[in-house]
Amino acid sequence: EAGVAQSPRYKIIEKRQSVAFWCNPISGHATLYWYQQILGQGPKLLIQFQNNGVVDDSQLPKDRFSAERLKGVDSTLKIQPAKLEDSAVYLCASSLEPGPNYGYTFGSGTRLTVV
């Protein structure tokens, strides 16, 4: 099966600019996650979708970050305006269902550098 697709692979922007990342999960996967991974740390959950609804966005900095999954398939994560501390890899993952017997499949991520 095709994996989780993410684009772009790399992005460099200046602080205060805006940026958007795209994720296409594995076909049929109802649950989609966005994680932020700062260098040297483990991935940190930003938001979880179940189909096109938000299940958990408690760790999403809503003053500058937004995410949507309008048709319950692909998803977009946006940052506006970006700060230097947003430099990180943004990982998208999907699973068939949110339950414990379903592992996650991760994409390769988008590496964001804010200068």
Partner 1 sequence: DAKTTQPTSMDCAEGRAANLPCNHSTISGNEYVYWYRQIHSQGPQYIIHGLKNNETNEMASLIITEDRKSSTLILPHATLRDTAVYYCIVRVAGKAGTALIFGKGTTLSVSS
Q: Which residues bind partner 1 (CB under 8 A)?
A: 4, 33, 35, 41-45, 48, 50, 55-56, 91, 93, 98-101, 103-109
Question: Which uninterrupted H or E stretch holds 78?
Answer: strand 75-79
Residue pair 114/86 in contact (Cβ under 8 Å)? The answer is yes
Between residues 78 and 106, which has the closer beta carbon with respect to partner 1? 106
CA–CA distance from 64 to each of 25, 79, 81, 108 (Å)?
Answer: 24, 6, 6, 23
Nearer to partner 1, 16 or 44 (CB): 44
Q: Considering the complex, state which of residue 74 and residue 81 has its C-beta at the smaller distance from partner 1.
A: 74
- Chain centroid, CA 57 distance in Å: 11
Task: For residues 111 and 27, give the distance between their C-alpha atoms in angstroms, rounded to a whole number.
Answer: 24
> C-beta of 47: minimal distance to partner 1 in Å?
9
Q: Cβ 9 to partner 1, closest distance in Å?
A: 10
Please, what is the minimum distance in Å from the beta carbon of residue 21 to partner 1?
A: 13
